[in-house]
Amino acid sequence: MAQPSYPPLFSPVSVIGSQFMLPYQFDMIIDINSSGNLVITDTNHKIMLKVKPCDSSFHLQRVLLDVYDKPICMIREKIMSEHNRWNVFRGDSKSKSDIIFSTKTPGMIQSKTSVHVFLANKVSSKDVCDFKIKGSWSKKTCTVYIGDTSTTIAQMYKTQSWENGEYVKDKFMVTIYPNVDYAFVMTLIAIVEAMKSSNTDDVVEEVIGSLFP
């Protein structure tokens, strides 16, 4: 399915690194395998990034890796948190000084995906979010926005993927807009995937979606 083309943003979005930005719009394919790994490729099926679970005794964790398995960032759930908070650190660090950004859900119970993103310089819980991701995870229709605006920087959608004559359920695509840090977008998707695989929000979402399509 052809995707619409969008003009470059006036201000480039670089959160994890400018090396993960391209001056044009493109699609990335996310494949969630049976081990819970996310393999992220371009439309030619060339691997660009990977996300692997690395849970500890007390924390749910994911690590974002480059094609050579070098850690780009550590994605770590904050324990004893009412709003499903996650912190993202540079490399494989877990030090507060290396936090790039954090996320939280605006409410404790949700029937739809909604995650607010705060860059490391935000110190107050009353600060307006820098980015947000909203939509339906079960339908793979989440969108990433700048702050509390309607400005879109990335959008998820389902694909009709078939392998060996069978429909592939856990594969979808993300459109990355021009001059947007795709490693940052993939980190947000990894957080939402980890949240949904560790609780029942996605089950509630699917039930409500079947009642009110």
- Tens-digit pLDDT profile for residues 172-209: 999 999 999 999 999 999 999 998 876 544 443 443 34
- Domain range for residue 177? 20-211
- Residue 8 belongs to some domain of the structure: no
Give pLDDT, residue 55: 80
DSSP string, 108-126: SS-SSEEEEEEETT---TT
Is 35 among the domain residues? yes
Q: Is 65 exposed, middle or buried (0-12, 13-18, 19+ CB in 10 A)?
A: buried
Within a domain: residue 7?
A: no
Total domains present in the chain: 1
Asked if the structure places residue 179 within a domain, the reply is yes
Residue 45, domain member (yes or no): yes
Structure tokens at 69: 């398995």
| Residue 36 resides in a domain | yes
Span 153-164, mean pLDDT?
76
Which of 81-85, 97-101, 128-132 is least confident?
Answer: 81-85
5 falls within a domain: no
pLDDT at 210: 37
User: What is the CA angle 148-151-154, rounded to 5?
Assistant: 110
Q: What's the mean per-residue pLDDT of the chain?
A: 83
Q: pTM (2 decimals)?
A: 0.84
pLDDT above 60 (res 6): no
Kindly state the percentage of the chain with pLDDT values over 70: 77
CATH classification at residue 178: 2.40.160.200
* 24 in any annotated domain: yes
